[in-house]
Amino acid sequence: MTETVETLKSSLDAATDPEADTGPDLTSPELYFNRELSHLQFNVRVLNQVEDESHPLLNRLMFACIFSSNMDEFFEIRVAGLKQQIKYGRESIGPDGMAPQQVLEQIAAEAHVHVERQYALLNDVLLPALEAEGIHFLRRSEWTEAQRAWIENYFENEVRPVINPIGLDPSHPFPRLVNKSLNFITELEGKDAFGRENGLAIVPAPRSLPRLVKLPEEVAENGTCLVFLSSIIHEFAEQLFPGMTVKGMYQFRITRNADLVLEEDDMEDLAQALRGELLSRRFGDAVRLEIADNCPQELEQFLLDEFGLKPHECYRVAGPVNLARLMAVPGLVNRPDLLYPAFTPGLPPGLKQKDSLFGQIARQDFLLLHPYQSFSPVVDLLRQAARDPDVLAIRQTLYRTGSNSEIVAALVDAARRGKEVTAVIELRARFDEESNLELASRLQEAGVIVVYGVVGYKTHCKLIHIVRREKGKLKGYAHLGTGNYHAGNARLYTDYSLLTADKTICEDVNRIFQQLTGMSKVMKIRKLLHAPFTLHSGLIRKIEREAEHAQRGKPAFIRVKVNSLTEPKIIQALYRASQAGVQIDLIVRGICCLRPGVPGVSENIRVRSVVGRFLEHTRVYWFHNDGKDEVYCSSADWMVRNLLRRVEVGFPVEDKKLSERIQVELEAHLKDNQLSWMLHEDGLYEKLEPGPDEAAFNVQQFLLNALAAS
């Protein structure tokens, strides 16, 4: 107690001494990177994979598609949000000190450069490489007579019946075009049947048609021949305007604000309110225009005026305006030799799927690292619970899944067998809202109790709680994860799953479900860190504890792996820990607002991003704690929304072997020199390469070799 009082007195004297050196101001904007610009940098790291010849050719094409998809969402949500702030006079200045207009200007400057580079990579690198492999994207000038005849027949039978050109005149105003839909602005010459001579029309491409058409073998030559729908429409455009001459036809796409705004204070039914808002997503304010690079300037300006956009919000592209649609290519060409080799996910020692999972989990905890290890034990646990007569109740959170998933089928089966099944469905999972509404309806029809969490707080934690009667007593089983209950994602995203019968953890999980489904005061949670209540403060205390150890001359380090790091109080705690001498390694896949390597502030902090075959999605926190290491996995990134505005869980991995395994896997990420990018003080990321005497090390391949079955 005396030591504490003396410490307080010393701190008070230092704080009130005008000549005392209080050190750098940890809230200074110079110590923070802008959130949106950091997000853009992550998208660029994805684009950089296109140039990396260590990836198979079709996977390099997929990285170009992922970059397009990521940029779509970036404009739909992040850029749209900045524009909304300006529109309504609600500008918010972040810790970096940049105003929304400044951020938008820098985004535009950088995004134009990267989009131009993306199309250069497509045209100069990917398409020639695919051509050499017998995969041909045929231009109209390259069609043979036989190919043209087949394509024209396709147009007459598949395209023309569902296409609907719209002439522009006083009785035909500019149509409301759906977000991210493919359209053509068309210049016409002549008079139509009614004598109209306006000269402009819009041709929306039917969304029901594929954007890539594979020619049949009888007309394809020397491999696989693919034709863009845009080329087909362009070639036969005059058939859409009989008697008129098509002077020019140029594809374009508009990106709109797709963020949903729900006035939760006035809401009576979340599901009903959400259904009403989903339609508005398709027709939100325009934020970006993409247009063919050969479009005349006057038509570009016409479209900009129509959508209320400025010239810097237009992106001229040398190719299809929606490269994300090229995701269909691997399924059309059947070339597994141009993709990553397939593998069979493994199972941890001691976990035998043929035996009762309840008996195995009762004996020991199991930790799964997807996709290297199978997601099927999670599904099988629910299946067994549905059929087991001793299981009384099943509770589960659902954030992103699918209405036809095996997880959902197991819950439906359990409800139909008379179990008490409760599903906490987060309807507001971005871009999965419609799917989750359908999911809720299906579960309710089967007799599942469906709740939508807590208004104002997204339910993002990944939890299953199963109650089973054993020897006359009730026993709990739990699954806690860092990722979604989506079997498809579990083959692409790296995530941890913990299967446990630990009594305290199961009781904690049960209390969280009680808070989500009922009305109660904050319950005491003993082992789990629980947002929005204890996760944020608990993390700061653990960071500060590490700083105290360092100040006492003890070894102190923190190793963290998250998708994003933006929360200012966490960043300031890390800065203080660095100043105290704590060695801090951060593996941050995407957004990072912390500036590493600043003398006197963050010279003990290193930040890297790992981008590879699998999307890094695990969230892991490792605190050395004076040799009594604490390891937590979590559903939460270190962001304001996750730590303060969502229902999240951080769960300890207490089994010594499992904890040590996670530590080894984190160390492996820190050894990687094939997929890693180091963040420097100036905000630039540097791709790591093996040194002269250093062996190449790919962490994802290492984990595949160590954990996968084959």
What is the spatial distance between Cα 149 and Cα 154, in angstroms, rounded to a whole number? 9
Q: Is the Cβ–Cβ distance between 40 and 683 less than 8 Å?
A: no
What is the spatial distance between Cα 307 and Cα 284, in angstroms, rounded to a whole number? 11
What are the residues whose beta carbons fall under 8 Å from the beta carbon of 409, sequence distance 6 or more? Answer: none
E-only strand ranges, 445-563: 449-451, 458-459, 462-470, 473-481, 493-500, 529-531, 557-562
Peptide bond into 348 cis (omega under 30): no
What is the spatial distance between Cα 449 and Cα 517, in angstroms, rounded to a whole number? 10
Instruction: Give the closest residue to 707 by CA, choosing from 400, 340, 366, 358.
Output: 366
Structure tokens at 164: 């609907």
Strands 212-214 and 224-228: antiparallel
What is the spatial distance between Cα 639 and Cα 536, in angstroms, rounded to a whole number? 10
Quickly list DSSP for 74-91: IIIIIIHHHHHHHHTT--
Distance from the first to the final alpha carbon of the chain: 59
Q: Is the Cβ–Cβ distance between 180 and 322 less than 8 Å?
A: yes
Q: How many CA atoms lie within 13 A of 649 on its CB side?
A: 30
E-only strand ranges, 375-519: 391-398, 420-425, 449-451, 458-459, 462-470, 473-481, 493-500
Biggest alpha carbon–alpha carbon distance for the chain: 97
Q: Is 400 left (phi over 0), alpha (psi -120 to 50) or beta?
A: beta
Grouping H, G, I as helix, E, B as strand and the rest as coil, residue 314 is strand
Residues serving a catalytic function are 460
Q: Is the Cβ–Cβ distance between 613 and 339 less than 8 Å?
A: no
- Give the Å distances, CA to CA, from 440 to 268, 398, 422, 429, 443: 17, 10, 11, 13, 5
What is the spatial distance between Cα 624 and Cα 557, in angstroms, rounded to a whole number? 6
Structure tokens at 147: 């190919």
